[in-house]
Structure 1
């Protein structure tokens, strides 16, 4: 059974109403979630409006935030695991679960009700057994979707427009520069608030969508650094299908039969990887590092040291014990397992063969 607390509880009333009224008929089974989201949005509206006004009024008096470090990689390539490990360093800031759920209220009312709100956190991420704790770092896709930026999460919430929202949220609508401008404005606003919440630390931001948008991020953050993690494409395909299939029962406010999930995965992977290769080609050597998930899994500390050395980051030796402690704590974690049918293997290879060959992968 889906939780009463839907991610859209973090929207403001205008954004929420626009999403609810422009995406087709809603499922009557989800009316309780929708009603709860509207109640929360209306209740928090005065506080979120005040917080937004104060952010605008104080912008000129705040120091610029440090250029973030972005963790990129196609869905299910190990970005979350890497994010969790690196965030053990107290030198990095990140987006907390409460900031993800209520992005307009990060600096105000969320802090007042943190103990109560933390009890509403799910035990895991729905798609795997990775625990969600009050200090678990999160990506920015959900908060940006709640704020009103184009996002593939809108396709999960309103699957009647799944394909349209996926293409718009992952690749943007190049015929409409306002879509990109709106995402950019919300992205900057969110990270400015998170920076304040994290006491000015350098932010560690993870988002699979950014795999194809390093060029756009460099225009916003010229000194940003990037970590790309890649994984066996055969596993990535199955795991990504599992990812979308598991989130739909939790988040969909409409019926979601016969969605073209496989087609979108097969088509988006090479498109995002080609964009990443093009965008990263001219980056300075200390701004981009690429790691193999399987190497990270076998020897995580060596891989983390490689990241620190390549990106010229300070603090590896001081924080290595923290990394080791976290890795020891999750040693018993069991990954999802998948079977590999010949027809699926053929389908994957017909779309992704250049990357399979480039990285030297085989069917597990």
Structure 2
């Protein structure tokens, strides 16, 4: 990878971390000195932007206190690598939909203040494809809110990506559990998202696989939240996520990346815990506020699938949204995903662990 492209990918994936968040992370976990270069972009970019973060906080304090984003956001959930990104792209292409975008999540603490500058800068420096796969991206493409939240709080799944040898600990601490402080930060982040992208829009779309375990928290904040649960063969999504974690750990990790066998074991366990957390909270979702979508259906019939989501969740404006969503589907016609292949030992371990799980897992 060219050094400039690597720096660009580091900036978008994990740059502009607020200094207080980074200091907390370094105190809690154990960075390895050999991974020190991965910290240059997060440290420098965060320090440069911190005075502007305080300025944005002061300028927008009143608006943040007054603004009320929709209390019925459409929340895309499901295990990572289950089609959540593709569905997010389609839903966010509706001109009436607001969502978090790369130009926001890269630095939410200054994204309102510097919006035109960030969009122009990212369009010049971003790589054509995401560093984790072959998916095209740009400054205004939708992005999951976990990547923006990690700039503001350590209480996210991304902590385990930055410190890959602590992944199980971070997953249980920040995904399976949450705090009152995180609840406040999530509510504030959603307000920032609406201020950034909500002008003239009628509904909010959120995509975050970690929210699969946070359904009770989301319903506390947004009682009318509407959920779309993506479901894919566990072997396929786990295999793909292990590859993604290997790549992200090498790009932005503060610790050496564990071998594939260890990451398979950790990811299989986390998958089971994530889905168990969702099933434990499923009954809390009111009738009419959950749609389940099979990955195979989304890939085979994206327009039909999205139309069903609009109908079943009562999202207004399908006739107006259809042409924009069809155009986004057309963009993906020639998309060819990156090959996903684990080493033989890791693949064997994955097959063994999945075979041990109950058939309904």
Q: Note whether the superposition's TM-score is higher than 0.5.
A: yes
Once the two structures are overlaid, the 10-residue window that deviates more, 54-63 or 244-253, is 54-63
Alignment map for 1:38-117 (pairs within 5 Å): 38-117=43-122
Match of 2:293 in 1: 291
Does residue 321 (structure 1) correspond to residue 326 (structure 2)? The answer is: no
Does residue 183 (structure 1) correspond to residue 189 (structure 2)? The answer is: no
Structure 1 unaligned residues grouped into runs of 5+? 173-178, 356-364
Aligned equivalent of 1:300, options 277, 299, 302: 302
CA–CA separation in structure 1 for the residues paired with 2:22 and 2:285: 39
When the two structures are superposed, what TM-score results if normalisation uses the length of structure 2? 0.88
RMSD: 2.3
SS in 1 for 2:76: strand
Once the two structures are overlaid, the 10-residue window that deviates more, 155-164 or 230-239, is 155-164
Whether the aligned pair in 2 keeps the contact of 1:160 and 1:254 (CA below 8 Å) is yes
Do the aligned partners of residues 269 and 52 (structure 1) sit closer, same or farther apart at CA in structure 2, a change above 3 Å counting? same
Q: C-alpha deviations, 1:110-168, integer Å up to 9, x for none? A: 43343123323232222211111122100011221121141221122123423322222
Do the aligned partners of residues 37 and 282 (structure 1) sit closer, same or farther apart at CA in structure 2, a change above 3 Å counting? closer
CA–CA separation in structure 2 for the residues paired with 1:58 and 1:185: 16
CA–CA separation in structure 1 for the residues paired with 2:340 and 2:14: 32
Once the two structures are overlaid, the 10-residue window that deviates more, 192-201 or 225-234, is 192-201
When the two structures are superposed, what TM-score results if normalisation uses the length of structure 1? 0.88
Match of 1:212 in 2: 213
Match of 1:19 in 2: 25
Whether the aligned pair in 2 keeps the contact of 1:10 and 1:143 (CA below 8 Å) is no
Aligned equivalent of 1:346, options 330, 336, 352: 352
Whether the aligned pair in 1 keeps the contact of 2:160 and 2:166 (CA below 8 Å) is yes
Do the aligned partners of residues 60 and 183 (structure 1) sit closer, same or farther apart at CA in structure 2, a change above 3 Å counting? closer
Does residue 152 (structure 1) correspond to residue 157 (structure 2)? The answer is: yes
Do the aligned partners of residues 87 and 352 (structure 1) sit closer, same or farther apart at CA in structure 2, a change above 3 Å counting? farther
Once the two structures are overlaid, the 10-residue window that deviates more, 90-99 or 117-126, is 117-126
Whether the aligned pair in 2 keeps the contact of 1:152 and 1:167 (CA below 8 Å) is no
Aligned equivalent of 1:138, options 139, 143, 150: 143
Do the aligned partners of residues 282 and 152 (structure 1) sit closer, same or farther apart at CA in structure 2, a change above 3 Å counting? closer
SS in 1 for 2:205: strand
Equivalent pairs, count: 348
CA–CA separation in structure 2 for the residues paired with 1:71 and 1:185: 21
Aligned equivalent of 1:334, options 322, 331, 336: 336
